[in-house]
Amino acid sequence: MKVAIRERMELFSGMLTHIVVKVDPEIMGGEPCFAGTRVPARTLIDYLESGDTIDEFLEDFPTVSRKQAVAMLEEASELLIAHA
């Protein structure tokens, strides 16, 4: 489990300077969450994979801003392209 958390921390360490996703072992067991919330970043991906929209996600998780959600998706896209 420590290895998985370390890998996640490394994956998200390149995040934008205005921290969009934060990994803190004291919050949700170290699951990457939107900064300032207890909402796992994975939840947004799960919503999109199931066909829901960003608006539906934001309605269900009002502590996450649209700016955070979009920035997380943009950063994830950049990470994927950089590691391709």
pTM for the whole structure: 0.74
Domains in the chain, start-ordered, CATH in brackets? Answer: 2-82 (1.10.10.10)
Q: Residue 15: pLDDT above 70? A: no
- Encode pLDDT of 16-75 as tens digits: 435 799 999 999 999 999 999 999 999 999 999 999 999 999 999 999 999 999 999 998
Predicted pLDDT of residue 46: 96
Backbone φ, ψ for residue 71 (5° rounding) = -60, -40
What value does the mean pLDDT take over residues 2-19?
46
CA-to-CA dists, residue 15 to 10, 18, 34, 56, angstroms: 10, 8, 11, 24
